[in-house]
Structure 1
Amino acid sequence: MELLKKDNYYHIYNREINSETVFQDANNMSYFLKLVEKYLIPKVNILAYCLLNNHFHFAIEVTADTKDVNQAFSNLFNAYTKAYNKQNSRTGALFERPFKKKTG
């Protein structure tokens, strides 16, 4: 996977691994956004975002070093997956790997 680079703009998007619902309700979305604030805000500027039931989109500007921002995305996805799996009595991956991106 090509790494996200500092001072670049990206459209980041991904969906649930089985094309099922990844955000079942407003509480799931709210929790995901809290994790975004915790893991991503220190590393990226979020220009726009959209959370849908089975996928998400972010338009971002990377403001941190490559290694730090890529680790932040990994931490975000892992933290949400653990919480979602616990809530729904499931195991395994939740999002497709690697997440998709377009440079802008």
Structure 2
Amino acid sequence: MANPREPFEPDTIYHVYNHGNGNDLIFKEDKNYRFFLERFRKYMSPVAKIYAYCLMPNHFHFLLRIRNEEKLGSYFEELYPKERRSAMSQ
């Protein structure tokens, strides 16, 4: 198993998964699945291409590829312009 503190590498494919605690459900209603997918898409689409996913009541799986360094750099430059980064470091 990989070290969970190692950052994802650009242009690399990952199987990302998580499981509820014991037999606890993480998706109890249909709206929970939709909410999760909307948030996952919002935050992950800019940094990863999602190839496949499977959501089950107590766990989920995603197969994704982290975007290449050029696309990641463009995204983070747009998100955190140089002026904002320099102001944050002071």
TM-score range normalised by the length of the shorter chain: 0.5 to 0.7
Inter-partner Cα distance in structure 1 for 2:49 and 2:65? 5
* Cα offset, 1:2, TM superposition: 1.6
Percent identity reads: 35
Cα distance per residue 1:27-77 (max 9 Å; x no partner): 000000000111001110000000000000000000136xx7xxxxxxxxx
Q: Which has the higher contact order (CA 8 A, sep 6+)?
A: 1
Moved over 6 A (4+): none
Length-normalised TM-score, structure 1: 0.59
Q: Which has the larger radius of gyration?
A: 2
1:1-104 correspondence to structure 2 within 5 Å: 1-63=5-67, 64=72
Aligned residues: 66
Unaligned 5+ segments in structure 1 are 69-104
Inter-partner Cα distance in structure 2 for 1:53 and 1:32? 12
Length-normalised TM-score, structure 2: 0.67
Unaligned 5+ segments in structure 2 are 77-90
Inter-partner Cα distance in structure 1 for 2:28 and 2:8? 29
Instruction: Indicate the RMSD between aligned Cα atoms, in angstroms.
Output: 1.5
